[in-house]
Amino acid sequence: MIPALAHISDSAPRRRASRSLARRTADALASAVAEVLANDEVASRPGLMQRLDPRVKLISILGFAVTVSFVHSLPVLLAMAVLTVALAVASRIAAGPFLRKVWAAAGFFGVLLAAPAVTAWITPGTVLVPFGPASITYPGLLVAARLVLRVAGGAGFGLLVMLTTRWTDLLAALTAMRVPDLVVATLAMTQQQIMSLLRTVENMHLARESRMLSTASAGQDRGWVVERMAFVARKSFKTADDVYDAMLARGFSGAVPTLSRLATGPRDWTWLLVSVASCAAMLAIDRMVFPA
């Protein structure tokens, strides 16, 4: 083999194995955009939650989330966490990815918050694993498990709303529920600007990657990232001003118009009644069968 070609063939796998910062960042941004688009596809599926009126869905999920915060017993909390997975499956959402999203964010932070509570220093009681002040106690494990299940259950119900509702329908539901127009307008513009800025940053990293003949040093990468962060910040402020001026020029009065037409049917009222009855049953079981 020609030495030059041999050098190229040997260096190519190493370059692919150690991708540049620009390439890794661009891939991460592309994954984030693809996930948003995938959520829109999930919201279009003919599942249980997708068929519900967004207003009824928000009210019922809020009721479930509040119920989770009032429940004390571990069996009931576990049952409500399982309920989120059952609703996800009924809404044609794969259980595996749904659980990963819940536990990758809410579950992880729930464990971090609950970790100190398992020690005898915070929650004294029967010691299971002796380790001085950091000994793990049985009451501490109960407190930690209760906190983690509450966080995971609440996050699961919230994720159900986000995955099974189109963004425009969610904004229409918030408007119909008398949420201030300023809040709705801010949410609408924030979502659009985040998507636009993600595309901008992705294109910048791809452009840098395509013009780099060799891998930059760590210091050069950090300097370039700081410069791009400042550029994106300036661009976001300018874009926000331009968009607001354009909205005012077109007669914007504070309310966000929508083409979504919300209609409540028998299925929605049935779901609402079942949700209220389920929340009441969970609270009754928690208080009567598993008293604190």
Asked if the structure places residue 4 within a domain, the reply is no
Are both 147 and 242 inside the same structural domain? no
Are both 145 and 67 inside the same structural domain? yes
Write a three-state SS string for 281-292.
HHHHHHHHCCCC
Buried b (16+ CB within 10 A) or exposed e, 166-200: bbbbbbbbbbeeeeeeeebbebbbeeeeeeebbeb
Are both 53 and 155 inside the same structural domain? yes
Are both 50 and 154 inside the same structural domain? yes
Asked if the structure places residue 104 within a domain, the reply is yes
Asked if the structure places residue 96 within a domain, the reply is yes
Find out whether 149 and 74 touch, Cβ atoms under 8 Å: yes
Asked if the structure places residue 199 within a domain, the reply is yes
Q: Give the integer Cα–Cα distance in Å for 89 and 96.
A: 10
Q: Give the integer Cα–Cα distance in Å for 3 and 1.
A: 6
Token pair recorded at residue 219: 């210091």
Find out whether 136 and 127 touch, Cβ atoms under 8 Å: yes
Question: For residue 185, which phi and psi values (nearest 5 degrees)?
Answer: -65, -40
Asked if the structure places residue 11 within a domain, the reply is no
Looking at residue 127, its pLDDT comes to 79
Residue linked to tokens 């995955």? 163
Domain count, the chain: 2
Asked if the structure places residue 186 within a domain, the reply is yes
Pick the residue with more confidence: 266 or 200? 266
Asked if the structure places residue 20 within a domain, the reply is no
Mean residue pLDDT across the chain: 79
Whether residue 281 is predicted with pLDDT greater than 80 in this model: the reply is: yes
Q: Give the integer Cα–Cα distance in Å for 160 and 130.
A: 40
Pick the residue with more confidence: 11 or 134? 134
Are both 278 and 232 inside the same structural domain? no
Q: Residue 227 belongs to what domain range?
A: 176-211+218-259
Whether residue 85 is predicted with pLDDT greater than 90 in this model: the reply is: yes
Using DSSP's 3-state secondary structure scheme, residue 135 falls into coil
Are both 90 and 193 inside the same structural domain? no
Which residues on adjacent β-strands are paired with residue 137? Answer: 127
pLDDT tens profile 212-269: 766 667 677 777 777 777 887 787 788 778 877 887 787 777 666 666 677 788 999 9
Are both 129 and 185 inside the same structural domain? no
Looking at residue 34, its pLDDT comes to 63
Looking at residue 33, its pLDDT comes to 60
Q: Distance from CA of residue 249 to its chain's centroid?
A: 35
Would the pTM count as exceeding 0.85?
no
H helices present in 91-180, as ranges: 95-102, 108-114, 138-164, 167-176
Q: Give the integer Cα–Cα distance in Å for 286 and 162.
A: 28
Are both 84 and 128 inside the same structural domain? yes
| Rg, the chain, Cα only | 25
Angle between helices 138-164 and 54-70 (to 10 degrees): 180
Are both 87 and 226 inside the same structural domain? no
Asked if the structure places residue 7 within a domain, the reply is no
Are both 230 and 88 inside the same structural domain? no
Paired sense of beta strands 127-129 and 136-137, if any: antiparallel
Pick the residue with more confidence: 22 or 81? 81
Find out whether 158 and 61 touch, Cβ atoms under 8 Å: yes
Are both 54 and 133 inside the same structural domain? yes
pLDDT tens profile 100-131: 888 877 767 777 777 888 887 777 878 777 77
DSSP classification of residue 254: S
Are both 142 and 241 inside the same structural domain? no
Question: With left for phi above 0 and alpha for psi between -120 and 50, is residue 189 left, alpha or beta?
Answer: alpha
Pick the residue with more confidence: 278 or 39? 278
